[in-house]
Structure 1
Amino acid sequence: MNLLLYLTTVLIWGTTWIAIKWQTGVVAPPVSIAFRFILASIVMLAIVRIMRRPMRPPRAAWPLLFAQGLALFCCNFLCFYYAEQIVPSGLVAVVFSTAPLFNAVNGRVFMGRTLQPSAIVGAVLGLVGILFLFAPQVASHAGDRTMWFGLAITLVGTMCFSAGNLLSSRMQSMGLHPTVTNGWAMLIGATVLTLGSLAAGFSFQPEWTPRYLGALAYLAVPGSVIGFTAYLTLVGRIGPERAAYCTVLFPFVALAVSTVFEGYRWSVSAAVGLALVVLGNLIAFNVFRRLPFLRAHGRALR
């Protein structure tokens, strides 16, 4: 079951980056995100009703729901939608793959979990890898503040995603199912985005093109309803740190899609950077030590 949840998350979220890219341009990002989560919350809460789960979370969960709605279904996506207007979607996915490291650090700060030295080594490798990935853009636009802003807001979005992970883990420990908490948190995030968009004077006229509407449908149902349910269920089953391993594989899928649809061109520094990001994540969570042949080798050495 865990493997199915893992593969579902990787395949769906590894391809949502290009769909987000297709939504940028005409409609203001906060409006597109509001459309996405209004539709997703309706579908999610309908599923909750069909499954006959309790619709109303307990009073103690509402502060956590509001926090999750703001972090995971509002600020997180605002950062990524704006970032994708600046940098290729595949590179945004690569920065997002540092989520396991943020989960480890946030778990230590807010939940008192032990921070392993391997996590620190992995974090350093991951950050160096990101610098390598952005090296071509840095070399040609070193003085371009827009490029640095794109990197910065992507990191902020990843931190918000990590916060949402921990909040979901906390609510699942209270006995709440992700379908229930996701439905309400998505509705809360969509409401905040709608009110903010109205206050900013953004138009709510959608882009009536097959590409925009197709991207919206894909992001709302597979990307949000299925993707978040699979991922956050995995968070509850194996913990936020281990669940976030799947973000390590996102760059492979996202950069492959970006190469086909956006004309992303690989370079030596980009390949090295991607390898370092992946290696950093694997080291951070001692994946190599879990491999049977390495465990056997370790026992032989002792």
Structure 2
Amino acid sequence: MTAVLYGLMIFVWGFSWIAIKWQEGETPTEVSIFYRFTIAATLMLVSGVVFKKLQNTTKRQHLFFALQGLCLFCCNFLAFYGSTHYIASGLTAVVMATAPVFNALHGKLIYGTPIKANFWLGVVVGLSGIVLLFGADLIKANWSIELLYGLLLSLLGTWCFSMGNMISLYNSRNNIQPYTATSYAMVYACIALFFIISFKGLSFDLDTSSRYLMSLMYLAIPASVLGFTAYLMLVDKLGANQAAYLLLITPIIALATSSFFEGYSWTVYSTSGLFLVILGNIITQINVPVSSYLYCYVGKRVKRQRINQSLR
């Protein structure tokens, strides 16, 4: 079952980044996100009532549902949608691949989850990959402020996403099923977005182009209803760090899609950067510290040299 959820998530979220890019146009970002989660929340609440999937909850639990909604379905998407205005959607997915790093740090600070010895090595490798991915574009664009905005918004969105993971863990530890938490969290996100849209005086009119409407439905149903329910089930089963591991593979699909639809050009730097981001996250996830591998390797080499010297 876990393998099926992983496979589902990789493809559903891998293609979602280009769908986010297609949301650009006449409709403001906040309105696009509002309609996305209004559709998703409605489907989940109706299904939850019909199939009796919604649990009984308390007022205190709704406070955490609201916080989860702000982090997972509001603030992070405002940042992610905003980042695609400045950089290729596939690059935003690559930055989100650092989510396991954020989860490890937040898990340590909030829940006291121990960090493995090889964690910092993985962080250095992963950050080096991001520098390669964005460094060539920054130099080419003379350190364009727009490119920097795209990077910073992607990192902000990833931070919010990670905080949402931490709140989801809290809800799971209080015996709240992911379906219940996700349903109510989406409702609170829609309420927050409604107030943001009203405060900014934005129009609720929708872009009626076929590309916009098709991408909206894809983001609302497969990417939100199926995607977040499956992902938070993985968080509940495996923990935030292991669940976020699937985000290492989605950038490959996202960048491949970006190459086809957006004309994103692969270079030696971007290819090397993507490889380092994935490698860095793998290093942070493996159970045996990398230092022990190095110690064993060096120890064997020294021992072999001593044996050869004694034979001489």
TM above 0.5, one fold?
yes
Between the aligned partners of 2:287 and 2:203, the Cα distance in structure 1 is: 47
Matches within 5 A, 1:4-43: 4-43=4-43
Q: Which moved more, 1:130-139 or 1:29-38?
A: 130-139
| Alignment correspondent of 2:242 | 242
CA RMSD of aligned residues (A): 1.7
Larger radius of gyration, structure 1 or 2?
2
Q: Give SS of 2:143's match.
A: coil
Structure 1 residues 140-198: Cα deviation after superposition (integer angstroms, max 9, x where no partner): 22332221111011001000000111111111111111111111101111111111111
User: Retained in 1: the 8 A contact 2:100–2:241?
Assistant: yes
Q: Could you tell me how far 1:135 is from its partner in structure 2?
A: 2.1
| Alignment correspondent of 1:187 | 187
Q: Could you tell me how far 1:232 is from its partner in structure 2?
A: 0.4
Between the aligned partners of 1:287 and 1:3, the Cα distance in structure 2 is: 19
TM-score, normalised relative to structure 2: 0.91
Question: Is 1:269 the equivalent of 2:269?
Answer: yes
| Alignment correspondent of 2:174 | 174
Count of aligned pairs between the two proteins: 294
Structure 1 residues 247-288: Cα deviation after superposition (integer angstroms, max 9, x where no partner): 000111101111111111100000000000000000001167
Q: Give SS of 2:22's match.
A: helix
The gaps in structure 1 that reach 5 residues or longer are none
User: Retained in 2: the 8 A contact 1:135–1:270?
Assistant: no
Between the aligned partners of 1:23 and 1:131, the Cα distance in structure 2 is: 28
Question: Is 1:79 the equivalent of 2:83?
Answer: no
| Alignment correspondent of 2:205 | 205
Between the aligned partners of 1:88 and 1:208, the Cα distance in structure 2 is: 24
User: Retained in 2: the 8 A contact 1:132–1:270?
Assistant: yes
Q: Could you tell me how far 1:72 is from its partner in structure 2?
A: 0.7
The gaps in structure 2 that reach 5 residues or longer are 301-312
| Alignment correspondent of 1:165 | 165
Amino acid across the alignment from 2:210 = P
Q: Could you tell me how far 1:55 is from its partner in structure 2?
A: 4.8
Structure 1 residues 220-271: Cα deviation after superposition (integer angstroms, max 9, x where no partner): 0000000000000000001001011000001111011111111111000000
User: Retained in 2: the 8 A contact 1:27–1:207?
Assistant: yes
| Alignment correspondent of 2:2 | 2
| Alignment correspondent of 2:286 | 286
Between the aligned partners of 2:45 and 2:123, the Cα distance in structure 1 is: 37
| Alignment correspondent of 2:124 | 124
| Alignment correspondent of 1:259 | 259
Amino acid across the alignment from 1:96 = M
User: Retained in 2: the 8 A contact 1:36–1:220?
Assistant: yes
User: Retained in 1: the 8 A contact 2:117–2:289?
Assistant: no
Between the aligned partners of 2:266 and 2:287, the Cα distance in structure 1 is: 27
User: Retained in 2: the 8 A contact 1:49–1:55?
Assistant: no
Amino acid across the alignment from 2:23 = Q
Q: Could you tell me how far 1:40 is from its partner in structure 2?
A: 0.4
Q: Which moved more, 1:85-94 or 1:60-69?
A: 60-69
Between the aligned partners of 2:224 and 2:82, the Cα distance in structure 1 is: 18
| Alignment correspondent of 1:140 | 140
Q: Give SS of 1:86's match.
A: coil
Q: Which moved more, 1:109-118 or 1:160-169?
A: 109-118
Amino acid across the alignment from 1:32 = S
Q: Could you tell me how far 1:88 is from its partner in structure 2?
A: 0.2
| Alignment correspondent of 2:310 | none
| Alignment correspondent of 1:110 | 110
User: Retained in 2: the 8 A contact 1:45–1:179?
Assistant: no
